[in-house]
Amino acid sequence: MELNKGQTTLTSFAKGYKNEDLIRLRSLWHSSLISSGVSGNMISQIMSSNSDKMKIRSFLVTNQVKSIGNKDTIGTDLEKSSVMVQNYLKNLLKGEFVALIVDGVTFKFSKAIAVLVTCGKLKQPALITTILPDDDEDIEDMDEIPAYDYLQASADILTACGEIDIKIDQIVSIMGDNIIQNKTIANHLKIPQGKCICHSLALVVKKAYNTIPYLDDLIVKASAMITAGGSNIRKRKLTNKNLNPRKMKYYANRFASIMDAIEYYIQHYIAIRLFLLVKTIITII
């Protein structure tokens, strides 16, 4: 079902729907909300809105679909929608050449690795699994948990691909951060590695700005001090002076961000200079 430019196709859908169609719609709706960051505890309290998600909710309520927002139902619907997505990808990617994207993030001392698949038939990459290498509830002693290495990662990636019937000879490349782990995985699976251009360009830009006198102090270190210590106090002070702290930030692995920061500092040089002189952010100038 598609919702285009606020014109819902729910009316045409309603003409021939069956009860199982409504249950499938509810499953996808619950999963869409959860994946968008909406707490399961809040779903039943969501009322009016012009968003597509709320139009679907109104449609379900009108047709007396039960258990909307129910905690147990949400869990069941997540499982159902996961199977639906798997089946959709199986049919769509059958016989297609695909590329894999692997990226990791550390949250609250736990590592999570996302594996996505992409090809010409997909408008955007699809998440096929999330690997939690540190999540081993069967082992109580942390010292006994083995390190998550390229062999385990390779096996988990192939398992995720197998669940949507992707064979290894369909995979034309594995893309990810330019780290030795990803290169080792690609070599082990005998699949070409597609390197991340953003991280590569970031290294080039770092080499370039290291040759410019004072740039490290004036932009890089100053940027780091805006949110140093995890506090937002300096950000609020900058905002009170009609400055945009977000545009003053430099992100080390995003090559264009230092150019944006330089441009903003130049455009607002006087205001930023006065702010620095009263030592509300840093004392390096």
In tens, the pLDDT along 116-146 reads 999 999 988 898 988 887 665 555 555 555 6
Q: Could you give the CA distance from residue 40 to residue 43 in angstroms, rounded to a whole number?
A: 5
Residue ranges of E strands in the chain: 3-4, 7-8, 98-107, 110-118, 126-131, 171-176, 193-195
Q: How far is CA 260 from the centre of its chain?
A: 23
pLDDT value of position 277: 58
Q: Could you give the CA distance from residue 1 to residue 53 in angstroms, rounded to a whole number?
A: 12
pLDDT > 90: what percent of the chain? Answer: 16
Predicted structure pTM score = 0.58
pLDDT value of position 47: 44
Q: Could you give the CA distance from residue 222 to residue 273 in angstroms, rounded to a whole number?
A: 12
Give the highest mean pLDDT range of 28-32, 129-133, 219-223, 264-268. 264-268
- Output 170 or 150, whichever has higher pLDDT: 170
* Bridge partners (DSSP) listed for residue 114: 103, 130
In tens, the pLDDT along 219-245 reads 777 777 777 665 677 778 888 888 888
pLDDT of residue 284 exceeding 50: no
* Bridge partners (DSSP) listed for residue 3: 8
C-alpha distances (whole Å) from 214 to each of 29, 185, 219, 227, 276 are 52, 40, 8, 21, 15
Which burial class, exposed, middle or buried, applies to 38 when counting CB atoms under 10 A from its CB (0-12, 13-18, 19+)? middle
* Rama region for 136: left / alpha / beta (φ>0; ψ in -120 to 50; rest): beta
pLDDT of residue 282 exceeding 60: no
pLDDT of residue 278 exceeding 60: no
Task: Give 85-131 as a 3 state SS string.
Answer: HHHHHHHHHCCCCEEEEEEEEEECCEEEEEEEEECCCCCCCEEEEEE
Residue where the block lists tokens 């691909």: 161
pLDDT of residue 265 exceeding 90: no
C-alpha distances (whole Å) from 185 to each of 34, 107, 193 are 31, 23, 9
Q: Could you give the CA distance from residue 255 to residue 276 in angstroms, rounded to a whole number?
A: 25
Q: Could you give the CA distance from residue 206 to residue 255 in angstroms, rounded to a whole number?
A: 8
pLDDT of residue 190 exceeding 90: yes
pLDDT of residue 251 exceeding 60: yes
- Output 236 or 277, whichever has higher pLDDT: 236
Question: Residue 281's pLDDT band (boundaries 50, 70, 90)?
Answer: very low
In tens, the pLDDT along 96-110 reads 999 999 887 766 556
Determine the residue type at 203. Answer: L
Task: Average the pLDDT over each of 34-43, 193-202, 214-223 and give the range with the smallest value.
Answer: 34-43
Which burial class, exposed, middle or buried, applies to 245 when counting CB atoms under 10 A from its CB (0-12, 13-18, 19+)? middle
Q: What average pLDDT does the chain have?
A: 75
pLDDT value of position 255: 63
